[in-house]
Chain A
Amino acid sequence: MSVATERRTDLRYRVGLNLRAVVGRSYPRIVGANREPSWIFFEAFLPLLGIAAYVFIYQFFGLQATAAILGNPPMCGDHVCASVAEQNQYLAAVNANTNALIASVVLGGTMVAFWLNVLWSMASQLYWEKEIGNLQLYMMAPMNRMALLGGMAVGGMVMTSMRAVSTLVAGIFVFGVVFQVASPLLLLAVFFATLIALYGLGMMFASLYLLWGREAWNLSALMEEPIFFSSGFYFPLGGLFRIPGWGPAVAIAGSFIPASIGLDALRQLTLGSTAFGGSLWIFSVTTELEILVGMAVLFLILARYCLAYLETLAKREGKLTSRHQ
């Protein structure tokens, strides 16, 4: 075997190769997608409307509550207001809670962008590559498969951040949401820990989906609304714990998705831990950050093992390149 064709095993070469694979796989997502001008409209602007609908629901509830407080007789909670001062106090509380709930929706909307990207551009991606015939080329290439998934994750994060930023900007400038960030460094730490854990989960799913056929696509579709619900994307997750019986069970199940814990921490950091009377939070921010870091490590390790195991299994069962099954 000549020197040129001999398999290179030295660490420097392998690290360089895998880094090039990460860059190579993220490149089409970062650059290629932006070459399609319609993408900005379809992927960044249009989804904002769905978020806006949830914002208007809270505004509607807020207006109904305000109308009741200002009605005849003026209602303060479940009794008639005793004085103008009490009436004003209730009005201020409704305004503050409505703003906090709208801010929760906006933060949830940014996380929805990343969750959908994880589902459709991470978890389903190897299945999609199999469908269009690219997977066999990836399998023949000499880089580590984790580098391939890592490239997809990095590209996906960058690609999705445009939609996430659009949602935040719309929340602040269109809906007038007020965020009070007390600890920016902690906020960044929570945000990136959430993203790494989420994409780690996506990498793990990608391996599992490799083995499944069309069930993979349908499973991704199934993990939209039920996860939005059980992970509290549009309301503080603590609301689920208020429902006796099944509520806590659903909330605990939803907490296995890193976005739920991440959102709870992000909401505490941007709205203040006293928002909603401090009654709708799950854990303290530092505890939630520790959980997120643990999840990130766990999912990345699981992704590594799942990928190796399921690649072998898919090869053995002859499903690695079989399309439309």
Chain B
Amino acid sequence: MSTYWRTFKTAAWLGWEMDSNWTEPWLFVLYSVIKPVAGAFILVLMYIVFVAIGRPQGDPDAFSYMYVGNSFFIFVASVLFGTFQVIQSDREWYQTIRYVYISPISYYVYILGRAASKIAVSVFAVAITLVFGVMFLGVRLHLAFADVPLFVVSTILGLSVLLAIGICLGGISFLTAKHTHGLAEGIPGLFYVFCGVLFPLSVLPDWGQAVGRAIPLTYWFDITRRLLTEGSTVNTTLGGYDPLTILLFLVVSSVGFFGLSVLIYKVGEYFARKAGKIDMTTSY
């Protein structure tokens, strides 16, 4: 266990240095904030344009729904990318994977450690985006004191699921070419569409709603939104479940995805070793 902890700590430190030491701290803070805030502004403008030409009286509930979902989606994009890109960057860019891989540590734990710095930066970016929305865009947020434990537990579970999904992708990317950008765009896109992040599941066709209900992140976004934007009139299609039932779904799926991540990682690793692909480079 101490080896795991030491590996995690060292990998987290390494990840933080790699993420942040390319520039001055103030510039890094600015960089960490501009991207998510600009992402939120795309949605703000989409809303403004629609209101300007389609619905002059506005729709504050729809806007709050979308804004909160988008803010928490920063975790999805950044934690997933922070996890699966470890293998590809070590393999293709730094070409150090062979040295790390043969060292007497768990590479699985090493990947989790490397992703930890992304989580730290994301917490900051999510907080800034939410505060910005409340202060300047009229987003209505309210978190009751009694709901704080539920909020913390659901956030931890949501992040665990994200790490597990990231490891699943990492296991697959052991075998694939350099697809960092396709994965970074595409997999979060999958969750963007099917998990009710920006629009409720009711907008999707029936098969799309079924896909969304099979992904644990849907429940994470739903419970987070229930706790932060109480009284929303948007029909999420999950209104029949109480928050504790939603939390139970999240717990069960977290455990399931952790098991799946170990399985996919081991299978990917096995076939990559068999095919001699652990340290391949695919530069074009």
Residues of A within 8 A of B (CB): 28-29, 32-33, 36, 38-39, 41-43, 45-54, 56-65, 68, 75, 77-78, 93-94, 97-98, 101, 116, 120, 128, 131-132, 134, 213-215, 218, 221-222, 224-226, 228-230, 232-236, 239-240, 242-243, 276-277, 279-280, 324
Contacts and interface: CB of A to CB of B under 8 A. Distances in A.
A98 B49 CA distance: 11
Contacts, number: 173
Given A50-B185, A53-B198, 20 more contacts: A47-B185, A48-B189, A49-B193, A50-B193, A53-B192, A56-B199, A60-B200, A61-B59, A65-B54, A77-B56, A97-B54, A98-B54, A213-B22, A221-B35, A225-B36, A229-B39, A234-B42, A240-B45, A242-B49, A280-B49
Interface residues of B, number: 54
A43 B179 CA distance: 7
Contacts of A134: 283
B188 interface: yes
A138 to B, nearest CB: 13
Interface of B: 22-23, 31, 34-36, 38-39, 41-43, 45-50, 52-57, 59, 62, 66, 92-95, 176-177, 179, 181-183, 185-190, 192-193, 197-200, 203-204, 281-284
B22 A61 contact: no
Most buried by B among A116, A229, A230: A229
Contacts of B41: 229
B38 A229 contact: yes
A61 B62 contact: yes
A61 B43 CA distance: 12
Nearest to B197: A53
Tell me the dominant secondary structure on chain A's binding face.
Answer: helix
B227 to A, nearest CB: 22
27 contacts: A36-B177, A47-B182, A47-B189, A49-B190, A50-B186, A50-B189, A52-B193, A53-B193, A57-B43, A59-B199, A59-B203, A60-B198, A60-B199, A61-B47, A61-B50, A64-B62, A65-B50, A77-B55, A77-B56, A120-B181, A128-B283, A222-B35, A228-B42, A233-B42, A235-B46, A236-B49, A239-B45
Given A101-B50, A235-B45, A68 B55 contact: yes
B250 to A, nearest CB: 22
A215 B22 contact: yes
